[in-house]
Structure 1
Amino acid sequence: MNHVLDRPIWSALQSAHADLAEGGKCARRYPPSIVPFAASADDSPESLDALENLPSGEESMFLVEAGPIAVPSGLVVIAEASVTQMVAERPHEKITDRRIQPLTEADAADMLDLATLTRPGPFTLRAQSLGRFWGIRHEGRLVAMAGQRMRQTGFIELSGLCTHPDFQGRGLGTLLFRFVAGQIASVGDRAYLHAYAANTSAISLYKAQGFVVRSEMNMRVVKRRP
């Protein structure tokens, strides 16, 4: 039996994030303005046809699965990478720190600017539609943040972790990592995350913070064939 995190996008869009899903029983995606993630229910011809019909124009979609990713003939792969999926080995303690503040829609532009600079992964102005985010400001400038992205029954993805280059090396990223992991554990869910397999320094950091590798994942970015 497959694990719920083997096809994390599909499992999120048919459970905790079903209200955000575009598509139907065979393939679904998040609204591109929120995050460009999509998935088919399985690799059947019917599901792959449905996946092929999700994007329009020049829209791209990110596909992430534990096994080989089947791509329908009408889509072309424009990028691919190996991704490491990690889960919290134990519940993290809920912590507090006066520097950490909840982020709101009023902070969306600053969040996008920081994400564009540091490139933690796909990020949009509407990222907060997926889950809560928290940040640290210095003299009014957002210098670090982290939050929650995909959700499945019993799991919440820790995502968007980034620190401005001028403030790296001060422990802000580790602090926010522990804070968000604690927030997830406090509601009874298990934290998990994705990191590019080539980012060995980040993976080592996450291991030091009590996360273990659950699965190696495949990622493909696709769009309609010209």
Structure 2
Amino acid sequence: MNLSSRHSLDNPVWAALATRHAHLGTGGLLARRYHPDIAPFAAVVSNTAAAWQELHGLMQRGEQVALLALDTMEPVEGLRAEQLGVIHQMAATGRAPDRVDDTEMVHLGHLDAPDMLELASMTKPGPFSTRTHETGHYIGYRERQQLIAMAGERMHIDGYVEISAVCVHNAHRGRGLAGRLVNVLRGDIERRGDTPFLHVFSDNRAAIGLYERLGFELRQVFRLVRIKRVD
């Protein structure tokens, strides 16, 4: 099946790299991937030998990428697939709150990248690398100059923007920081005319519960698949 004929959110990595994030990746008509220092994600436009061959050509020997798959992956010789888990895609319903307490929130950019990478490495909200902050707008909270919480925008698709890297330092959990950051980003995205969405592991019940309370609902279920070039 041609994956591009589905809803764009059913192949979000492809939809982002084929449109608003084309400058952050590489690839052709059948396969695309983010630059490795941006994100580990890749996508094929169809589950065909030609598409897998094109992805193979975008990878170095021994390199790995991650795909969000609805169907069973059948890569060609030279590529090995391994399922890592199940991902829930959740989309916002309704509108963000009219007012959110953002008095101490800070905007994060290039100079904050080392602190962002350190917090992500500690809390493990998902893949985060040296240039991930270039995917969109990132915000956070600092105390005594230490970055203690952050969230930002990752995949940008026509009509949709993904909220990602939602994380809080272990010593500062339980203060509602994650919810405030998500609501601020959600409001910004909606004012631009886009719909917020996000991805979360299916067994992360705490995060799923938070997102449900914030007004996100399950939209799609993916397999998270690691593809490794083994030839």
> Superposition RMSD on alpha carbons, in Å?
1.4
Paired residues of 1:88 and 1:210 also in contact (CA < 8 A): yes
- CA deviation after TM superposition for structure 1 residue 76, in Å: 1.7
Paired residues of 2:62 and 2:230 also in contact (CA < 8 A): no
Select between 123-132 and 140-149 the one with higher mean Cα deviation. Answer: 123-132
- CA deviation after TM superposition for structure 1 residue 202, in Å: 1.0
- In structure 1, runs of 5+ residues without a counterpart are none
- CA deviation after TM superposition for structure 1 residue 96, in Å: 5.1
Per-residue CA distance 1:53-93 (angstroms, 9 max, x = gap)? 21103321010133333333311235521000000012314
- In structure 2, runs of 5+ residues without a counterpart are none
Paired residues of 1:91 and 1:190 also in contact (CA < 8 A): no
Q: Which of the residues 36, 42, 46 maps onto 2:46?
A: 42
Matches within 5 A, 1:96-107: 97-107=102-112
Q: Using structure 2 for the length normalisation, give the TM-score.
A: 0.93
Matched, 1:83 2:87: yes
Paired residues of 1:51 and 1:72 also in contact (CA < 8 A): no
Question: Percent identity, aligned pairs only?
Answer: 36
Dislocated runs of 4+, deviation >3 Å: 93-96
Paired residues of 1:144 and 1:163 also in contact (CA < 8 A): yes
- Kindly provide the amino acid, as one letter, of the partner of residue 81 in structure 1: G
Q: Using structure 1 for the length normalisation, give the TM-score.
A: 0.95
Distance in 1 (alpha carbons) for counterparts of 2:75 and 2:221: 19
What residue is the counterpart of 1:141 in the other structure?
146
Distance in 1 (alpha carbons) for counterparts of 2:77 and 2:9: 26
- Kindly provide the amino acid, as one letter, of the partner of residue 45 in structure 1: A
Paired residues of 2:14 and 2:45 also in contact (CA < 8 A): yes
Select between 46-55 and 74-83 the one with higher mean Cα deviation. Answer: 74-83
What residue is the counterpart of 1:125 in the other structure?
130
Query: Alignment partner of 2:196: what SS?
Result: strand
Per-residue CA distance 1:119-162 (angstroms, 9 max, x = gap)? 00000110122111001000110000000000111000000000
Paired residues of 1:8 and 1:65 also in contact (CA < 8 A): no
Matched, 1:209 2:214: yes
Query: Alignment partner of 2:116: what SS?
Result: helix
Count of matched residue pairs: 226
